[in-house]
Each structure stands twice: as C-alpha cells, then as structure tokens.
Structure 1
Amino acid sequence: MEMKIKTLGIALVMCVGGVFLSACTSVDQPKAEAPPPSRYANASPLDLRLSAWPYPYPTKEFKTSLQGQPASMIYMDVPAVGKQKGAVVLFHGKNFSSDYWAPTIKGLTAAGYRVIAPDQIGFGKSSKPDVAYHFDDLAQNTQALLKSLGVTKTSVIANSMGGMVGIRFARLYPKTIQKLILENPLGLEDYSKDIPPQTNDNLLKLEMAQTETSYRRFLQSYFPVWQPSFEQFLEVYVRIQKGPDYPAFAKTSVLTYQMIAEKPVVGDLPQLKMPVLLVIGQKDRTVFGRRFAPPEAVKSLGNFPELGRKAAQAIPNAKLVPLDNVGHIPHIEVPDIFVQTVVDFLNSKS
C-alpha cells in the first residue's frame, strides 16, 4: 500500500486516539513544547502484525476472511486450571490488543474457566485488510472461530469498543452466549447524533501527525492514576510508528474509527435477553471522537456513571456494579477486584 502523506509538523497535541483513533477524554491541551527524548529510541520497530511483540500465552491462527479478502485471526486459547466450569471469550478495545487481558486470563483460568482471547481482524497480531469494517463481520468471524474450536456455549467479557462488538455478537448469536459482561463499553450513547462525520483523509492526516508525547497523554486520559506498567501500551504504538508498516497500520485505524462512528449499538440494549453484568468505572468520561464534537454537546457526553445506570434500566436482565475511583479499563486498573466481580457473576445461577 503506497501512501504519500505529509506529516503535519510538530506534535498536534490533540485528543485523537493515535494508532487507534477511538475515544478521547481530555479537551484542552497545553501549547506544544519540544518533546523529551524518547525512552524507546533504541527499541526495534514492529511490523504490521506485531511479530516481535510478546503475548502472555501462546498464540494460534484461525484463517478466515473479511469483506471477501483472506485474513488471519490470531488468538490465545488458555485451558482452565482443574475441572472446567465453562468457556469465556474476551473482546478487546480499539486502543489495545488481546494481550492486555493477561491478568483477566490468569484469574479466570484459575477459577476454572477456559479463556479464548482473539485479536479481532484489524487489530494486534491479526490481519489488517484495507476494507470497510463492520461489527457484524467481526462478530461473525468470532463465531466461526468458536465453531472451529468446538465451543457452542460461552460467556463474553467485552471492554470499550469490544463492548460494541460484544453487543452485536449477543444479538446475532443469542444461543451461543450464556452471560455477557460489559466493562465500560463504548456505544451506550449514539455518538452519531453529536460527532460530525469525518473524512478518511482528515483522520489519516491526524493519525500520521501523532507523536509519542501526544499518544501518552491520550492513554493517560483513560486512567485516573497512571502507573509505570501502563507504558507497555505506549511502547507498542511507538515501535509500530517507527517501522515501514505504520501508514498501513494508520489506515486500518481510520477504517475502524469509521465503524464505531457509523454503527451505534445503544438500540440493541433492550434486546439483550441473557444475564448481563455492567462493570462501570465511575471516573470514566471517555467520549468517542470528542475533539470533533461541538463544545455544547461535549458537556452531556461520556458520563459513564449515568450511562451505566441507563443501560441497566434498558437491559431486561442486567446487574450494575459501579467501581469508585476507576476509569475506562477496570481489568487493568483493579485486576483482582474485576476478576472477583466477574467470577462471582459467572458462578451465580442467575
């Protein structure tokens, strides 16, 4: 894929999700300063499929297709410790890959659950075809993966953008899902009402202008308290950006941004018939595409405490667990509390 794109100069310190262009939580940024020396200056570049990036468990490949193009879906399939109680599938967010589920996988397998954690097509180690992306297609590929593994019943845990995939999966394959856990999911409000449409060209220019400094600030907006261990999520981005495949990686990010912008799922909530657990970090104020929204609209968007309450009312069989002082990714911020909350729900007879 050949692209001739002029970088927009010094860091546009803006709230655009870097390689993942997904959700933004900060509004005003300070005037750009000379960036500090990169701590990853000597790190080797990563290719389009993150070949050199380690995952916490062995990965496998499922060959499938997307919009008629051949594609490979990479996944981890980790067996339960001891007697298996059931299976759980994990749907990652747009800014991350399945490797960020490491503490959840460890906790769930120790509790007796087989865990399947795929990188959706367009993310992580999976293929990134230059096609239109749709939640239904991602859900269909996940169902095909489960069928190939002989899994006919499973529970689902879905975070951020993965929540939108999980909701569509539940609507398309209700007989497959036993229980659905939505962890600070995007899509609890219709962004298309307030976020003006963006052209691919404009999004790509913003993507190519991202820097290590601006992307770190973006990631920090997810977490009330930034921990040194969270730097790994910045490192993978910086190392991709250093490599020759970054333009193709950035283009895929643009295409998956459009999927979120154009395909709201909030209308699906009343149709979810299985037991649903909403785990909502109360400090989360994530708004997809915030920087493109009119200032008056931003005030009412991204209020996750309120969105969680409304979702619990809209879903027929829902339980809400609010987590104080936690942001957009509880399973990383408070992994032990998250795992215990999820295991209690999975083990319950409701």
Structure 2
Amino acid sequence: MRKILMLLLLISTIIAANAQTDTLSITLENVKYPYPVNFMPIKVEGQDLRMAYMDVKPAAPNGKTIMLFHGKNFGGYYWADVIRVLSSKGYRVIVPDQIGFGKSSKAIIHYSFHQLARFNKNLLDSLGVQKVTLMGHSMGGMLATRFTLMYPGRVEKLLLEDPIGLEDYRTFVPYASAEDDYKTELKTSYESVKKYYQTSYFTTWKPEYDYLVAIGAGVSKSADFPRYAKVAALTFEMIYEQPVCYEFGLIKVPTVLFTGKEDKTIVGKALLSDEEKAKHGQYKILGPETARKIPGCKLIEFDNCGHIPHIEVKEGFFKALMANL
C-alpha cells in the first residue's frame, strides 16, 4: 500500500510539474476549445488580423442568439458549460475571442472599447445576425456596456456578470504607463498567475480551476511572450483610461446584473495600500449601486461567490441565467 501511495504521489508531482512547464503559443493553437473555432479577417492600422470565434448552432433552434464576451485574463474556452446549457435550450451561441485575446491576433495597436465593439458588430453582420442577447463577464462587461451604448438596436437584453469598471479606477489607482505595465507583465510565472487567481477570483480554490492557470501561465514560456505582455499592458491601459461607469444611466435595453457578493476585484489592486483596497472593489456594495444607475436593472447576487459565478456556483448561476432570458 505504501508503495502504491508513493507511486501516486510521484505521478501527481509529475503532472503538476508538467502543468507548470507546458509552453503554449500566444494565440493558443495548442489549446483545444470546446467547439470549432472560425476566424474573421480584420485590417487595422495597416495590419492583417484574425478574430477567432465559436458559432454554436443548437440542434433545436428557438430563433434566439446569445453573444458572450470574455474577461481580460480569459478567452472563449472558459464559457464551455455556459455554451452547453444555452445550446441545449435552443439558443445559437456566438463566442468571440477579442482581438488581443485567446486565439485572436495579438496586435500592437491602440486598443479601445469602441473599436472592439465595432469588430463584434462586424462579426454579427458577417454572420447575418441582427439582434442578440449580450452577456459580458469582467472586462467583457465593460465591452458589452460600450457595445450596447453604441448599437442599442442590436441588443435585445444586456446581461452583466461581475463586470469590472463599476467604479472609475483613475480616481484611486495610481497611474502606470503601458511601459510600466509591460515590465510587470514580463514577470508572469505559473506561481504568480495561480496566486492571483486564488486570491482574486474564487472564495475557495478547487483543483478543477487549475486549467485556467495552465492556460494563463503557459504563454509565459513562449518565445513570443514579450508581444503577449505588450498587448496585456495595452489592454490594461484601455480599461484604466476608458471608464463606462458614468454612462450606465444611458442604457436603454433590459439589463440584468449578476454578481458574486464576495467579489473584490480591482484593476490595479497591486498598486494600492491595504487601506485603499478595503475601500474599493466591494461588489456587495458596487452591485446594488450600479443596479440603481441602470434604468430598470435587475440585480441577482450569489452568496459565497467571487468573480466568476458561471464557474464557482455554476448550477445556481445557470438557474438564474435561464430564468432571466
């Protein structure tokens, strides 16, 4: 029995070591997505780019389409269970990787939520889709808000899952240039990513979340990682410099805000003192405040949940999601 236990321990150690050392390309060619990936060509600032997306058509269509916008540290891969549930109910599900993220091109361009919104509008046009229910998580919530403000006629309903940007980070997070952020991003390691995910995204860490770390950290071993780090810095700058919180009152479509009550996400948290951290990023306060700003907004809160309800409390989240479509 002791030999068996030692062998199992050795195997688990090897697996853990491999998880920490696997090298991923910065466009995730060696990451398998849950559904087939297509690409839309885009020309920006003289560069020929590719925008990756999944377009999942249900076996029994109900005539409705939902578009999912991912967060800053993720790509379409983490929507797998959400896609499965929505597709099983007849929804067509379109899941883009934004330019600069996931399997899409890592372009050195000026990043703006306005431009990303236009890319997604062009994607819908290319697919012949006129109206969608739009759901955005984290940074995707900021983008979904901007998209809705720019193209209200294309959005039937707006669903925001723990969006960042519920407060103006410029008012309390010290300014850091893209070059400063780039130097910080270059220090990325498996250990730093796992620590950040453990302390920022979940109330209790589970081994099933390790795949998020493996993808988030795997790119740091790539020879092209400096480009990835530069893009990460440029998109951090986009978030910092382009708030949407002052425009929530202009939203004119039905909106549902989903939040984990234990979410304490702050973009640029590492630059803050403990005193400042305690004052901001409190979603149990920011959620109700934001819901009051958005006309007719419905707020759904999840106990014992952090930044990603669709992973941490998936069954409760799916139930709430389906009840509000």
If the length of structure 1 is used for normalisation, what is the TM-score?
0.86
Is the alpha carbon distance of 1:67 and 1:196 closer, same or farther for their aligned partners in structure 2, counting shifts above 3 Å? farther
What's the CA shift string for 1:274-313, capped at 9, x where partnerless?
1100111011011110121355432221010111101111
Matching residue's letter, 2:67: V
**Aligned with 2:100: secondary structure?**
coil
Q: Give distance in 1, aligned partners of 2:73 and 2:216.
A: 10
**Map of 1:252 onto structure 2:** 231
1:126 equivalent in alignment to 2:104: yes
The yes-or-no answer on 1:220 pairing with 2:198 is yes
Gaps of 5+ in 1: 1-35
User: 1:201-245 CA distances to partner (integer Å, 9 max, x unpaired)?
Assistant: 221221112221121010112100111111111111332111211
Match of 1:278 among 252, 257, 261: 257
Residue pair 1:91, 1:165 contacting (<8 A) in 2 also:
yes
Stretch moving more, 284-293 or 184-193: 284-293
Residue aligning to 1:116 = 94
Is the aligned partner of 1:236 residue 2:215?
A: yes
Q: Give the deviation of 1:43 after TM superposition.
A: 5.3
Q: 1:136-155 CA deviation, whole Å, 9 max, x = no partner?
A: 11100000000000000000
Helix, strand or coil at the partner of 1:185: coil
Letter in 1 for 2:89: A
Q: Where does residue 318 of structure 1 map in the other structure? A: 297
User: Hey, what's the Cα distance between the residues in 2 that align with 1:44 and 1:188?
Assistant: 35
**Contact in 1 for aligned 2:74/2:216 (Cα 8 Å):** no
Once residues 237 and 96 of structure 2 are traced to their aligned partners in structure 1, the CA distance between those partners, rounded to angstroms, is 21
Contact 2:188 2:220 in 1 (8 A): no
Counterpart for residue 144 of structure 2: 166
In structure 2, the partner of 1:186 is 164
Aligned partners of 1:81 and 1:111 also within 8 Å: no
Question: Structure 2: which 5+ runs fail to align?
Answer: 1-12
Could you report, residue by residue, the CA deviation over 1:170-227 in whole angstroms, capped at 9, with x for unpaired residues? Answer: 0000000000000000011111101121122221221112221121010112100111
Mapped to 2, the partners of 1:110 and 1:89 lie a distance apart of 15
Paired with 2:44 and 2:319, the residues of 1 have a C-alpha distance of 36
Corresponding residue for 1:299? 278
| Matching residue of 2:3 | none
Q: How far apart are the structure 2 equivalents of 1:225 and 1:159?
A: 20
Residue 264 of structure 1 is matched in structure 2 by: 243
Letter in 1 for 2:267: F
What residue in structure 1 maps to residue 9 of structure 2? none
For residues 297-341 of structure 1, the C-alpha deviation after alignment (integer angstroms, 9 at most, x for no partner) is 322210101111011111112100011111100011122221221
Instruction: Name the residue aligned to 1:64.
Output: 42
Letter in 2 for 1:298: K
| Counterpart position of 1:142 | 120
Of residues 166-175 and 334-343 in structure 1, the stretch that sits farther from structure 2 once superposed is 334-343
> What is the CA–CA distance in structure 1 between the aligned matches of 2:41 and 2:284, rounded to whole Å?
40
Maintained 8 Å contact 2:20/2:218? no
In the alignment, the residues of structure 2 paired with residue 124 and residue 281 of structure 1 have an alpha-carbon distance, to the nearest angstrom, of 25
Paired with 1:201 and 1:285, the residues of 2 have a C-alpha distance of 26
SS of equivalent residue, structure 1 residue 287? coil
Letter of the 2:225 counterpart:
Y
Greater helix percent: which structure? Answer: 2
Identify the match of residue 18 of structure 2 among 40, 43, 48. Answer: 40
Q: Please say if residues 251 and 295 of structure 2, whose CA atoms lie closer than 8 Å, have aligned partners that are also in contact.
A: yes
- 2:180 is matched with 202
SS of match in other structure, 2:18: coil
Aligned to 2:133: 155
Aligned amino acid, residue 203 of structure 1 = D
**Matched AA of 1:53:** V
1:89 to 2:67 alignment: yes
Letter of the 2:319 counterpart? Q
Give CA-to-partner distance per residue, 1:10-58, whole Å, 9 cap, x none: xxxxxxxxxxxxxxxxxxxxxxxxxx99622685422121111100000
Q: Is the 8 A contact 1:40 1:238 kept in 2?
A: no
**Secondary structure of the corresponding residue to residue 203 of structure 1:** helix
**1:41 and 1:164, CA in 2 relative to 1: closer, same or farther beyond 3 A?**
closer
1:73 maps onto 2:51 in alignment: yes
Contact 2:188 2:217 in 1 (8 A): no
Give the TM-score taking structure 2 as reference length.
0.92
The corresponding residue for 1:32 is: none
Aligned-partner Cα distance in 2 for 1:290–1:238: 19
Secondary structure of 1:322's counterpart equals strand
Alpha-carbon distance between aligned partners in 2 of 1:165 and 1:151, rounded to the nearest angstrom: 19
